[in-house]
Amino acid sequence: MSLPADLMELREDEIRAHYGAAAGLLDGFDHTPRIAKPKEAAPAAERSPGIARTRRFRTTTPGLVTRSTARPEGVHLTERVERSDGDDPLVSPLQATVLHGLRRAIAVALAVGEGFAEQTELAALRRANLEGRLGADKSTAFSELLTAEALIVLHVFANATSFLLADHASEAAIEVGAVEEILTDNAPLALKGALWELDQELATFVTSEDKLVPTVLAYVEQLMEKVALRAQTASHLGPFTSANYRVEADDLTISGFTPSRAHRGSKITMTFKKPNEVVGNHIAKYQAMKLSKMLMAYDFDRKLNPFAELGGFIFTFMGDGKPGTGKTTLIQMMAGLINDYCAVAGYPFRYQNFGIDNIDSYQGKSGQNAKAFINNVLDPNVIGFGTVDDIDQIAGKRGDRQSSAGQQEVTAVLMESFSGANTVVRGNCTFGMFSNYPENVDDALRQRAGARFLVDGPQTREDYIDILHLLMGKNHDIPMGDHDLYAAQEIKSAVARSFAAHARPQEDGLLEVFDRVHDKIGELDSIAKMGTYLKAIQEADERFTGRSIKNITDAVKVRAMDFELPDEWMENPELFLMKDYDTKKAMIAELRVPITTDMVIQEINRYADSEFRYADKSDEAAIEAMVRDFTRQEEAKKRYLEGK
């Protein structure tokens, strides 16, 4: 099988050459911890002295509980895994799977490390060092390359273990805590430190076999995250981060320090909604339908979506509206569309919601939960859809004393992930933030939403008739009357009316700015005049910054992609989904429409309307709070004086 040009094949013989070393590490080695301290093990089950257990490690006194996990005779991971089911003398299928997965992951890691050494001067420097020929001028480079190799081997080991055991994960959640024994002197020592700490975690948390895989996965995920952070400041990693390694037998692709989880989606327990069941919310519904199809253009070989390259891809969006206007229904509709499209194409789909139950009282845990949520949805091996419902309750405003430390952690993670220095938009996933009170969301976080969906629910008489009929169901004989059912929900005409309505602002504050500029310079029919309008908006609202302009231009590019991919492309994968990246890109480019002045004005007004709406609500809420405070103070003063 031929591989894409940016993939390097990791041959099976190169991996199997390290099986012996990997098995030796699992069988036993000595390690004295440098950083971490041995943990106290969970009490072991009482065992009968009459059962022979010659192949397993056991205490010298039958029935004695071993309290410390630090073994004077070394680390024996094979025996540790085999003891996870108590007294059963036979190796279970799950134990064998874990041991095979660990051996395979260690061998893959050593093979990648060996390849890195050959690609760089590390292999030559290592030989020179063994022969006593290493000059003083090369000692620093030698040390830095050893550190780089150690980080690579650690991350690949953790990454491959997570990938290989992912299909055996259960719903059990194990909190192993922070990984500490990360040693970067050289790759062999790094692996011993990691395996020693894994042995500690197994001894502490695996009180029954069902906790074996969750504990291993929890540890390697923490190890991946810690190593990736170390790698951000390490040198000489270019040959590894710029390459993609492919292990064909395992269907595993290693892309730098990005986790390569198994190619599988999440099981969704959700009541999906059809587009006609979303009444009103025309622009929001239209953009959600377009975005659902945009995601399907993602190319799993290139790890890129043509829409992300051509422009017009919505990576983050915010949906706001009053309670009961249809935000949950919109989520159900979009998730249902993506799920159905992925089922036809055979793509893995992962939906995940980040809710209030992910805010933890333990310091740092809320941030970890948020990062795990982001990484799960970002996984380049799946089509992802992540939602943050009631984000005003989940992410705290910076400087707000009423926000908990956990909420502040979530805000920091979301800001960095949605538009940080390391943010990479591949086009395989999108994030939606929803709120009834977006004015309570941190300004900087809110501005990281590239698109705004106003979820205002049914608006017209026809909308209310449609939603009444929809919710009434079929168990009645009430006549419809003079009404063309769902005609008002016909998406193209409804969207055209909705966009046209934004030729002038909807909010009073912005309308005043618009009329003032229009009276002064006339029609906004040039870049210069539109820039003048933008400056006038900034003078009226200082939160209208350069990021706001970027969001507006991104929205304009979306309008340039003001088309839906044909339904038949989604129904027959051969027509589009199975095409190569360049073909899909060319097919999409042919459908683009020119950017017009009307598009730009409408998108400026749509975005600025939302900011003025948030500001007005925020100011009004603050004024009402102050009025309540003053009223209480006056009443308290009155009662105090009457009491005297």
Q: For the chain, how many residues are written?
A: 644
Residue 493: per-residue pLDDT:
59
Average pLDDT, the chain: 82
CA 14 to CA 19: how far, in whole Å? 10
Percent of the chain with pLDDT over 70: 84
Q: Average pLDDT for residues 128-141, to the nearest whole number? A: 88
Q: Which of 247, 227, 287 is nearest to 16 (CA)?
A: 247
* Domain 275-621 class, CATH top level: alpha beta
pLDDT digits (tens, 9 = 90+) for 230-241: 998 899 998 998
Which pLDDT score is estimated for 116? 93
Contact assessment for residue 194 and residue 188, using Cβ atoms and an 8 Å cutoff? no
Residue 614 has pLDDT above 70, yes or no: no
Residue 496 has what pLDDT? 62
Q: What b/e string do you get for 369-400 counting C-beta neighbours within 10 Å, with b at 16 or more?
A: bbbbbbbbbbbbbbbbbbbbbebbbbbbbeee
Query: Which CA distances in Å does 150 have to 23, 114, 153, 182?
Result: 19, 11, 5, 9
Please check the confidence at residue 54 and state whether its pLDDT lies above 50: no
Position 280 scores a pLDDT of: 62
Please, where in the chain does CATH 3.40.50.300 lie? 275-621
Instruction: Return the bridge partners of 246, or none.
Output: 9, 253
Q: How far apart are CA 287 and CA 563, in angstroms?
A: 10
| pLDDT value for 107 | 96
State residue 288's pLDDT score: 85
CA distances from 279 to 275, 282, 473, 485, 495 (A): 8, 8, 15, 11, 13
pLDDT band for position 379 (cuts 50, 70, 90): confident
Which has more confidence, 474 or 617?
474
Kindly report, residue by residue over 429-459, the tens digit of the pLDDT. Answer: 999 998 888 778 888 888 888 777 777 767 7
pLDDT at 196: 94
Give the other-Cβ count within 10 Å of 623's Cβ.
10
Residue 56: predicted pLDDT = 39
* pLDDT (mean) for 150-175: 86
Rounded to 10°, the helix 405-419/365-378 angle is 30
Contacts of 475 (CB under 8 A, 6+ apart): none
CB 223 within 8 A of CB 177: no
Q: Mean per-residue pLDDT for 357-372?
A: 78
Distance, in Å, from the CA atom of 567 to the CA atom of 590, rounded to the nearest integer, reads 17
For residue 449, which phi and psi values (nearest 5 degrees)? -80, 110
pLDDT beyond 80 at 546: yes
The mean pLDDT of 155-172, rounded to a whole number, is 85
> By mean pLDDT, which of 46-50, 131-135, 461-465, 548-552 is the weakest?
46-50
Secondary structure of 529-585 as H, E, C letters: HHHHHHHHHHHHCCCCCHHHHHHHHHHHHHHHCCCCCCHHHHHCHHHCCCCCHHHHH
Q: Is the pLDDT of residue 108 over 90?
A: yes
Q: How confident is the model at residue 423 (pLDDT cuts 50, 70, 90)?
A: confident
Q: What is the pLDDT of residues 312-329, one digit of tens each?
A: 788 998 887 777 767 788
Residue 428: the pLDDT is 93
Which pLDDT tens digit goes with each residue over 253-280?
888 888 876 445 555 556 666 666 666 6
- Supply the angle between the helices 19-27 and 93-119 in degrees, to the nearest 10: 130
